[in-house]
Amino acid sequence: MTVEALAAAVVAACEAEGVEHMVTGAFAYSLYGIPRSTKDVDVVVSLPSGEPLRRVTARLANLVEFEAQVQFDTLTWGRRQVGTMRGSPPHIVELFELFDDPFVQAQFARRRKMFSPQLGCTTWLPTPEDVVVQKLRWGRNKDLDDARDVLAVQGPETLDMGYIRRWCATHGTTERLEAALAGIPPL
Amino acid sequence: MPNIHDDPAALKALQDQIYRENILRARAMTEEQRLAEALELTNEVFSRMHTGAMWQTGTTDSEQGWREVRRRLDRLRRTHDHGRFADQKPAGR
What type of residue is A103?
A: F
Q: Is B74 within a domain?
A: yes
> Taking Cα atoms as reference points, which of A124, A159, A119, A139 lies closest to residue A33?
A159
Shared domain for A26 and A105, answered yes or no, is yes
Size of interface A-B (CB pairs under 8 A): 117
Q: Is B53 within a domain?
A: yes
Chain B interface, best mutation among A6, A27, A30, A154, by max B CB count within 10 A: A30
Q: Is A16 within a domain?
A: yes
Q: Please, where are the H alpha helices in chain A? A: 3-16, 25-32, 54-59, 102-109, 128-138, 141-154, 161-171, 174-182
Residues A83/A93, Cβ–Cβ less than 8 Å: yes
Interacting residues of B34 by C-beta distance below 8 A, sequence separation 6+: A30, A31, A32, A33, A34, A35, B26
Shared domain for A39 and A85, answered yes or no, is yes
Q: Is A26 within a domain?
A: yes
Q: Is B27 within a domain?
A: yes
Q: Which residues are paired to A122 by β-bridges?
A: A115
The residue in chain B having the minimum alpha-carbon distance to the alpha carbon of residue A187 is B20
- Is residue A44 packed enough to be buried (19+ CB in 10 Å), middle (13-18) or exposed (0-12)? buried
The C-alpha atoms of residue B69 and residue B46 are separated, in whole angstroms, by: 8
Question: Last residue of some domain: A108, A126, A144?
Answer: A126
Q: Does B14 touch chain A (CB under 8 A)?
A: no
The residue in chain B having the minimum alpha-carbon distance to the alpha carbon of residue A146 is B23
> Would the CB atoms of A39 and B44 count as touching at under 8 Å?
no
Interacting residues of A64 by C-beta distance below 8 A, sequence separation 6+: A6, A57, A83, A84, A85, A86, A93
Shared domain for A121 and A136, answered yes or no, is no
Shared domain for A117 and A148, answered yes or no, is no
B19, B27, B41: residue with CB nearest A37: B41
Which string of DSSP letters, residue by residue, matches A68-106? Answer: SS-EEETTT--EEEEEEESSSS--EEEEEE--S-HHHHH
Shared domain for A61 and A98, answered yes or no, is yes
What's residue B20's pLDDT? 96
A74, A185, A186: residue with CB nearest B85: A74
Say what the ipTM of the complex is.
0.91
Q: Is B38 within a domain?
A: yes
- Is residue B75 packed enough to be buried (19+ CB in 10 Å), middle (13-18) or exposed (0-12)? exposed
Query: Mean pLDDT for each consecutive 10-residue tract of chain A (187 residues)?
Result: 93 93 95 94 86 86 91 84 92 92 96 93 96 95 96 97 98 98 92
For the stretch B62-90, pLDDT in tens is 999 999 999 999 999 889 888 888 888 87
User: What CATH number did the domain enclosing A11 receive?
Assistant: 3.30.460
Q: Is B40 within a domain?
A: yes
Shared domain for A59 and A144, answered yes or no, is no
Domain count, chain B: 1
For the stretch B4-45, pLDDT in tens is 888 888 898 899 999 999 999 999 999 999 999 999 999 999
Shared domain for A141 and A106, answered yes or no, is no
Which residues between 34 and 63 in chain B have a beta carbon less than 8 angstroms from any beta carbon of chain A? Answer: 34-39, 41-47, 49-50, 62-63
Range of the domain at B12: 4-81
Range of the domain at A73: 3-126
Residue A26, sorted as left (phi over 0), alpha (psi -120 to 50) or beta, turns out to be alpha
Q: Is B91 within a domain?
A: no
The residue in chain A having the minimum alpha-carbon distance to the alpha carbon of residue B36 is A118
Residue B1 scores a pLDDT above 80: no
The C-alpha atoms of residue B79 and residue A123 are separated, in whole angstroms, by: 31
Residues of B in contact with A128 (CB under 8 A): none
> Taking Cα atoms as reference points, which of A8, A184, A22, A164 lies closest to residue A97?
A22
Q: Is B89 within a domain?
A: no
Residues A30/A8, Cβ–Cβ less than 8 Å: no
What's residue A180's pLDDT? 97
Q: Is B87 within a domain?
A: no
> Would the CB atoms of A184 and B43 count as touching at under 8 Å?
no
What's residue A51's pLDDT? 72
What's residue A50's pLDDT? 66
Shared domain for A109 and A150, answered yes or no, is no
What's residue A73's pLDDT? 85
